[in-house]
């Protein structure tokens, strides 16, 4: 039996397409315990996500976590679920559509699609559809501003594993990170300024809390640059806003398990700020380009409760970049810089019926 996926025979002179594939972490298909169990089973089984001996972790995951956590997590997902579905999936779908338009306005006639590392649409399924649609050049753009082995690297792992199953491989590139990209930083800064304009300027008893997703401390000790890239993004955002060091705080959320994670933790930080007399905080999550469970439930709901219960007076949540025009322009700039050298501009073949049909096929569910 062949090791390769079935694919059509090669046709000389076939039109070639370039694609940009946005990749995010993933989401359950529904806010139910069975759907969350399937999602967590795939996510937490990844050896890059949990780096402890496989047999020990398999017993913990299947014996305890997948029997306890899905029901609790499903209730949290239900609190933020929208009529259109998972907030993360909805935002990424819209980002793909808007990015396609932004790149098109700049003269780049490319296919733009999206995939999830865990859940659906999967990276292998989406890459197969792009290839079947005639895409011979694919730029992978993981939507993780700061690089981590457990996020960016595992997404690239999945794409490379798919390549091993393909006989006629497309050319492929990747965006590693964009933690210090000026457009990304300026979009974050603009979102903060707009929030201040509507809710009031900071006072002396104020902090801007920048909450990034946490990782176990051992990832830093083993050489993962994630912590440093988060610090850099936070510093650049503070500089863009003209904040002094005592006016903002970088911290890390979503701790899981008993191991030490990157410090300081977000929830204890919010409590401590209130206890120290800080009356108002605004929280922004720069590591999340799209709102999701970790921002809408963990920060906007639970974080607010933590701060107010500890004596804080005003809590503001600043939405993720989502579909902001300045963020889509920045995303287009990031993509365009990595598309250099590939033919993506208009040509006499771009309007041909055959190429239009190929593009429609490659777009698939993202259209």
Detail the residues annotated as belonging to a binding site: 213, 294
CA angle 218, 224, 227 (to 5 degrees): 85
> What CA–CA distances, in Å, run from 97 to 22, 201, 349?
11, 34, 23
Strands, E, within the chain: which ranges?
17-26, 111-118, 135-142, 171-174, 206-213, 248-253, 280-284, 314-318
The sheet with strand 206-213 has its strands ordered as 248-253, 206-213, 280-284, 314-318
**Burial of 203 by CB count in 10 Å (0-12 exposed, 13-18 middle, 19+ buried)?**
exposed
CA–CA separation, 343 and 92 (whole Å): 26
Binding-site residue positions for Fe(2+): 213, 294
The sheet with strand 135-142 has its strands ordered as 111-118, 17-26, 135-142, 171-174
| Token pair of 231 as six digits | 């610090």
Coil, strand or helix at 349: coil
Scan for tokens 């780049």, then name that residue.
108
CA–CA separation, 110 and 116 (whole Å): 20
Q: Within 13 Å, how many C-alpha atoms sit on residue 177's CB side?
A: 21
Region of residue 223 (phi > 0: left; psi between -120 and 50: alpha; otherwise: beta): left
Region of residue 341 (phi > 0: left; psi between -120 and 50: alpha; otherwise: beta): left
| Token pair of 70 as six digits | 């899905």
Coil, strand or helix at 138: strand
| Token pair of 31 as six digits | 């806010």
CA–CA separation, 19 and 170 (whole Å): 10
DSSP 278-293: --EEEEE-TT-SS--H
CA–CA separation, 31 and 27 (whole Å): 9
């Amino acid at each position: 039996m062949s090791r390769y996926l079935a694919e059509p025979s090669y046709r000389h002179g076939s039109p070639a397409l370039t694609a940009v594939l946005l990749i995010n972490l993933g989401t359950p298909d529904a806010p139910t315990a069975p759907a969350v169990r399937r999602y967590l089973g795939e996510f937490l089984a990844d050896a890059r996500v949990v780096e402890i001996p496989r047999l020990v972790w398999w017993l913990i995951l299947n014996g305890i976590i997948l029997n306890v956590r899905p029901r609790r997590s499903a209730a949290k997902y239900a609190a933020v679920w929208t009529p259109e579905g998972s907030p993360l999936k909805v935002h990424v779908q819209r980002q793909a559509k808007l990015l396609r338009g932004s790149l098109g306005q700049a003269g780049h006639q490319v296919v733009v699609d999206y995939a999830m590392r865990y859940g659906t649409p999967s990276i292998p399924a989406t890459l197969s559809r792009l290839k079947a649609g005639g895409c011979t050049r694919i730029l992978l753009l993981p939507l993780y501003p700061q690089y981590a082995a457990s996020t960016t690297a595992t997404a690239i792992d999945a794409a490379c594993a798919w390549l091993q199953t393909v006989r006629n491989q497309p050319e492929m590139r990747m965006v590693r990170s964009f933690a210090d990209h000026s457009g990304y930083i300026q979009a974050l800064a603009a979102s903060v300024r707009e929030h201040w304009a509507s809710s009031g300027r900071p006072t002396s008893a104020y902090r801007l809390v920048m909450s990034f997703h946490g990782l176990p401390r051992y990832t830093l000790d083993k050489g993962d640059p994630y912590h440093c890239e988060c610090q850099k993004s936070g510093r650049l955002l503070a500089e863009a806003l003209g904040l002094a060091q005592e006016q903002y705080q970088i911290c890390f959320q979503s701790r899981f398990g008993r191991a030490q994670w990157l410090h300081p933790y977000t929830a204890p930080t919010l409590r401590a700020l209130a206890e120290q007399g800080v009356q108002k905080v605004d929280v922004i999550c720069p590591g999340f380009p799209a709102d999701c469970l970790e921002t809408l439930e963990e920060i906007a709901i639970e974080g607010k409760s933590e701060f107010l219960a500890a004596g804080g007076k005003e809590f503001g949540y600043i939405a993720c970049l989502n579909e902001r025009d300045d963020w889509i322009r920045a995303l287009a700039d990031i993509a365009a810089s990595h598309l250099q050298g590939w033919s993506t501009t208009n040509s006499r073949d771009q309007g041909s019926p055959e190429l239009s049909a190929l593009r429609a096929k490659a777009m698939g569910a993202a259209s």
